[in-house]
Structure 1
Amino acid sequence: MSTFQPTPTKPWWASAVIYQIYPRSFADANGDGMGDLSGISGKLEYLAALGINAIWLSPFYLSPQADAGYDVADYRRVDPLFGDLQDFDEMLSKAHSLGLRVIVDLVPNHTSDEHAWFQEALASPSGSPARDRYMFRDGRGIDGVEPPNNWRSIFGGGAWTRVTENGVPGQWYLHLFDTKQPDLNWENPEVHAEMESVLRFWLDRGVDGFRVDVAHGMVKAAGLPDWEGQTAMVSGDETNTLASQSPAHQQKPAMDPPSPFFDQDGVHEIYRAWNRVLKEYDGDRMLVAEAWVEQPERLALYVRPDEMQQAFNFDFLLAGWDAQRMAAAVDNSLLANAAVGAPATWVLSNHDTVRHTSRFGLLDPTAFPKGISAEDEQPDEALGLARARAATLLMFALPGSAYVYQGEELGLPEHTTLEAAFRQDPSFFRTNGVERGRDGCRVPLPWKASEPGYGFSSGTPKEGGHAAPWLPQPPSFAHYAADTEAGVAGSTVELYRSALEVRAAHALGVGTHAWAPQHDPGAGVVAFSNGPITVLVNAGSVPLDLPPAAEVVLASTLDSVSQGKLAPNSAVWIAS
């Protein structure tokens, strides 16, 4: 088992830069058009050279793939799409040999409907122990024809599906997501024991931590009361109400009444138990929460000393390209995390959001669309990339841990013209296309501009050549292929490498944030210092004067700084 030792003062995760890998879209080593674990192994040197500290893998477990692997049929098996346990072990060993930690996804809120437990539940009567592992309930109304309550699925439509028992309609089961993702019953001790066993299975293999999917969702309010609200995974609605008026520390309004199935206090006892499991292992193993919690103070509860080590900072992700909103997100996040003694995390994109390079190129760069299609507003690709590069310099200079979504180091945009015939996200189908879905940010990466599929597939070709990537790539991806950017001054990948080198050299991840004299969010300027680096971000419309004789350490583009001024939509690091 591979192990790592913590630094004398801070555990590794407190300041790590963690790279999210969406396995099916990262690299394909066997030519079948689907990314795999061997493909990841083949690119680990690239990631190590980029300067990241860890990788996080989205689900690779056995699954019917109704929701791209977030519908798990067996938590201890690798889906043949991605390889097998030996491939995982080899990838893990190689990552550790390169000094990279490995975090894996854990999906504890629900399983696949093809999981052995759920199949047993379907074959068992009402009130049976097998049914009690899930949220089965009798329906309301005459003969139970109405669902047990009015909850809505995150993916659209109702959150309850009725099963057939002995040829007649029977009970209903809860699925906050797709019908093929039944929610587990976390009131059942067997569920707790099984998930702790799953944790140990992967910890014993040597993983360094877990990203916990829907970490705020496992516990439901007693009695499952009706609720008229509607929630989403990552939503910009509540943040948009604060646009251009958010002073530091302004509180976002809580839902009234609060959701009966998200952010219940009972989830914290689960994470206290998991914290105890991780402490049985050496090497500073960690948990990071994907918790969509509106108020920073509530989110901070997940990272108290006896619970998780990190929680994703969606406030920062949702701020968009707006100086006031970015500054407020930084202030609020640092304040809330400091209250519980936890480091902050920063993230701009992930597998559930439109890539920030494209969001920042919209007419409203704070907008948060649920996917973009050819019928929607098309982003200004160049403007979005310029802003994205500037936002990256802001993020990497902040103390705490930063998360990078695969391809953002290439400046990769969203696939905004993906045809409906290719879409696979269940949210697209459950909303009849009203939500465009998340496929546009999940398109396979371009590695080599001149090769079919932009080099996504390698290894021994299938008969007739490599299969086409599982999602088609837009022609523009040729301009962002890794081989066209490597070693090229001014390219986005070289910006990331340079920024991460400076970040590491000056230990910015464990540094201290302080607003600089130039900080003026109302004028579009975000400015702060961290150790020997001062960061200036110009989100305004006019050039910004740099301090006299400023020593530029790094600029977001080659032409960001000219004649002592910082151009709009740019950022710069200067020596303090």
Structure 2
Amino acid sequence: MSDDLWFREAVVYQIYPRSFQDSNGDGIGDVPGIISRLDYLEQLGVDVVWLSPIYTSPQDDNGYDIADYQDIDPTFGSLADVDALIEQAHARGIRIVMDLVVNHTSDEHPWFVESRSSKDNPKRDWYWWQPSRDGHEPGTVGAEPTNWESFFSGPAWDLDEATGEYYLHLFSRKQPDLNWENPEVREAVYAMMRWWLDRGIDGFRMDVINMISKVIPLPDGALLPMSQLGDGTPHFLNGPRIHEFLQEMHASVFEGRPEKLLTVGEMPGVTVEDAILYTDPARNEVDMVFQFEHVGLDIGAHKWDRSRVDLRDLKASLGRWQEALAEVGWNSLYWNNHDQPRAVSRFGSDAPEHRVASAKLLATVLHLHRGTPYVYQGEELGMTNVPFATAADFLDIESVNYYDLAVAAGGDVEQILANLRLGSRDNARSPMQWDDSANAGFSTGKPWSATNPNYPEINAAAAVADQDSVFHHYRRVIELRHTEPTIAHGDFTMIAPNHPTLYAFTRSHEGTELLVLANFSGDDLALADVVEDLDGWSDSTLLLGNLGTPTSPTAPLGPWEARLLKR
């Protein structure tokens, strides 16, 4: 395999630093805490660690509002700590990838402080500033330059009283959007990226990177259901200059580097056709994208309208991405991250009798697809959603805004809370569960976010000590990606796509065939009438199972059972 394609055999582990490990007792995770857990990550076998933002930030959006790209927030440590992390991770063969948030900055970033200081400031055009809509006084209803709704609720424009103009913020009002049309903005971003690469990091995960190019002039969007605001996404998702910008970034930042670096673009609303363009190695844009199709299947009229995922829809979605990127481009594979509910509670079963089996099943299915798998901290333990009791337990700005607006609109409080328990980003941000001591071993102080009360049963110390745990299953799956070429390089064929509970597919490469069988239900599942050529697998080798060794490789599957067969 080409050295430029090393990521195809790699597994990435995402760390949300605020919730991973606290080293100084202030209740917030930090970089020294991450360093103290590198042996754990080495034992798990991951190749890359992706850090959610640790830059200087007011923490309005937990670090995704950056006030200084080239310094570390004191909450997390220092640049010297990051240098030590890079060095010690590299000594263990682990690469470090940083989060890159350049669609927007914090409103406390010096660039924006200058930009808002006056209409004729040299950095005024570094952000999106516009006067009020014709015929409207600034600050009146409907005066915003466009009708776009922010992802965090309310208008996507905020009035700056000092200059009388509005600035664009697709997210929080404290996250003004950078104007990528300005070449000075782009070069400032590229210079910052080069600075980090020179410091020794191994690449970037690029936050909402497909939003950096906007349609000009900025138009109104179609009105959203039950809203006075419009949908701006057609005018800033995969915009007219996005490929130009990414190719320019590659030429300015990555070209000529002695080692291939990892570039991952988070891209809401990306289609398979878009992804082929973004990830075609010949186009020099990004190595892979994060797409959101499969994690939107349980969402109804709005994000907080949730239902159980239909497995047939899940197979159709993931299968379509496997097929589309089979010849050109590459997939990223994930069940959850810092923005998504816990995988075992969403796609598996967090019932005590099924949690371990279903967590192992999810690992087996995902990691045997073609693409680079991502493990979100605690996923390898089968961590679950948090049983939040009251509205006060939710901390995430998106969840808080939804609750306030839904209650103000007369919504049923209990239903609103039920929606939040299913969909809130807070589920992923509860502290990592290290052991059964106070605060799950995360901190000697009061954690910034409540620890899941199930930590005495679900924790890393217990999992590492138990060879049959979810942790060791993940370790075995990761090891197989490193040792079985068919997993990284084989083709993919879905089996029984219309079956409501069986997820099955084959992988083949240079004469080797693998078969994955997974029962997404709490009932037994016979295979004889479902899987074609089942007899041909009767003498196959069981490479991996989550419920012990079956009487035969093709015996009926038990509840939440998964098998990996080889012939």
What TM-score comes out, normalization by structure 1 length?
0.84
Q: Kindly state the Cα deviation for residue 559 of structure 1 after the two structures are TM-superposed.
A: 7.9
Q: Report deviation, 1:400.
A: 1.9
Residue 550 of structure 1: how far off its partner (Å): 4.4
Letter in 2 for 1:131: R
Indicate how the Cα distance of structure 1 residues 106 and 418 shifts in structure 2: closer, same or farther if over 3 A, else same. Answer: farther
1:25-50 deviation line (CA, Å, top 9, x unaligned): 11111121111111111111111110
Q: Which residue of 1 aligns with 2:131?
A: 138
* 3-state SS of 1:65 partner: coil
Kindly state the Cα deviation for residue 349 of structure 1 after the two structures are TM-superposed. 0.3
> 2:256 matched to 1:266?
no
1:291 aligns with 2:284: no
Structure 1 residue 424 and structure 2 residue 398: aligned?
A: no
Question: Among 146, 152, 156, which residue is 2:153 paired with?
Answer: 156
Specify the code of the residue in structure 2 equivalent to 1:324.
R
- Counterpart for residue 528 of structure 1: 505
Give the Cα–Cα distance (whole angstroms) in 2 for the partners of residues 314 and 559 of structure 1: 35
Counterpart of 2:184 in structure 1 is 190
Per the TM alignment, residue 509 of structure 1 is displaced from its structure 2 partner at its CA by 4.2
**1:322 offset after TM fit, Å?**
4.2
Indicate the larger mover: 104-113 or 565-574: 565-574
One-letter identity of the residue aligned with 1:481: N
What code does the residue aligned with 1:338 have? Answer: A
Aligned equivalents of 1:57 and 1:291: distance in 2? 18
Distance 1:478 1:230 in 2: 44
Q: Structure 1 residues 56, 502: CA separation in 2 closer, same or farther (over 3 Å shift)?
A: same
Partner residue in 2 for 1:334: 322
- Residue 471 and residue 519 in structure 1: after superposition, are their counterparts in 2 closer, same or farther (change >3 A)? same
Matched, 1:282 2:282: no
Matched residues in 2 for 1:560 and 1:199: separation? 51
Measure how far apart 1:318 and its partner are.
4.4
Deviation, 1:384, is 5.4
CA distance in 1, matches of 2:71, 2:233: 37
Residue 20, structure 1, aligned to residue 1, structure 2: no
1:379-528 to structure 2, matched below 5 A, reads 380=351, 382-383=353-354, 386-417=357-388, 419-433=390-404, 434=406, 436=420, 437-449=424-436, 451-457=437-443, 466-515=444-493, 519-528=496-505
Distance (whole Å) between structure 2 residues aligned to residue 18 and residue 53 of structure 1: 6
Query: Residues 390-419 of structure 1, C-alpha deviation per residue, up to 9 Å, x if partnerless?
Result: 121011112221011110000000113254
- Residue 264 of structure 2 contacts residue 288 of structure 2 at CA under 8 Å; is this kept in 1? yes
The CA deviation string for residues 535-574 of structure 1, in whole angstroms up to 9 with x for no partner, is 1122354423374344322112348878922114221111
Taking a change above 3 Å as real, the CA distance of residues 487 and 502 of structure 1, as seen in their structure-2 partners, is: farther
Q: Deviations over 1:434-488 (max 9, x none)?
A: 4733112101111111x1111112xxxxxxxx21111111221221110111131
> Does residue 552 of structure 1 match 2:516?
no
Instruction: Report the identity percentage.
Output: 35
Q: How many Å apart are 1:424 and its aligned residue? A: 2.2
CA distance in 2, matches of 1:284, 1:171: 44
Q: 1:561 to 1:495 in 2, by over 3 A?
A: farther
Distance change >3 Å, CA 386–CA 67, structure 1 → 2: same
SS at structure 1 position matched to 2:565: strand
Cα drift, residue 382 of structure 1: 4.5
Tell me how far apart the structure 2 counterparts of residues 561 and 495 of structure 1 sit (CA, whole Å): 20
CA RMSD of aligned residues (A): 2.4
TM-score by length of 2: 0.86
1:351-370 Cα offsets, whole Å, 9 max, x none, are 001111111357xxxxxxxx
After TM superposition, give the deviation of residue 149 of structure 1 in Å. Answer: 1.0
5+ residue gaps, structure 2, are 299-308, 407-418, 528-533
Return the offset for 1:14: 2.3
Change (3 A) 1:300 1:382: farther
Counterpart CA distance in 2 for 1:257 and 1:80 is 36
Question: Given the alignment, which residue of 157, 160, 166 partners 1:172?
Answer: 166
Q: Separation in 2 of the partners of 1:152 and 1:552?
A: 51
Which amino acid is 1:147 matched to? E
Query: What's the CA shift for 1:121?
Result: 1.8
Q: Which residue number corresponds to residue 555 of structure 2? A: 564
Q: Hey, what's the Cα distance between the residues in 1 that align with 2:59 and 2:473?
A: 35
Q: Structure 1 322/511 Cα, relative in aligned 2: closer, same or farther at 3 Å?
A: farther
1:157–1:431 contact (8 Å) kept in structure 2:
no
Q: How does 1:1-20 map to 2 (within 5 A)?
A: 8=2, 11-20=5-14
Cα deviation for residue 132 of structure 1 reads 0.9
Q: 1:371 corresponds to which residue? A: none
Distance 2:270 2:263 in 1: 20
Q: Which AA in structure 1 matches 2:400? A: F
Structure 1 unaligned spans of 5+: 1-6, 232-254, 363-378, 458-465
Instruction: From the superposition, tell whether residues 260 and 307 of structure 1 become closer, same or farther in structure 2 (CA, over 3 Å).
Output: same
Amino acid at match of 1:332: R
Asked if the contact 1:513–1:528 (Cα under 8 Å) also holds between the matched residues in 2, the reply is no
Q: What's the counterpart of residue 374 of structure 1?
A: none
Contact 2:9 2:481 in 1 (8 A): no
Q: Deviations over 1:287-312 (max 9, x none)?
A: 10000124211233221321111111
Q: For residues 155 and 470 of structure 1, what CA distance do their matches in structure 2 show?
A: 22
The one-letter amino acid of 2:144's match is P
Give me the whole-angstrom Cα distance separating, in 2, the residues matched to 1:74 and 1:82: 14
Shift of 1:314: 2.7
Q: Is the 1:560–1:567 Cα contact (8 Å) retained in structure 2?
A: no
Shift of 1:496: 0.6
How many residue pairs end up in the alignment? 516
Cα distance, 1:447–1:508 mapped onto 2, change above 3 Å: farther
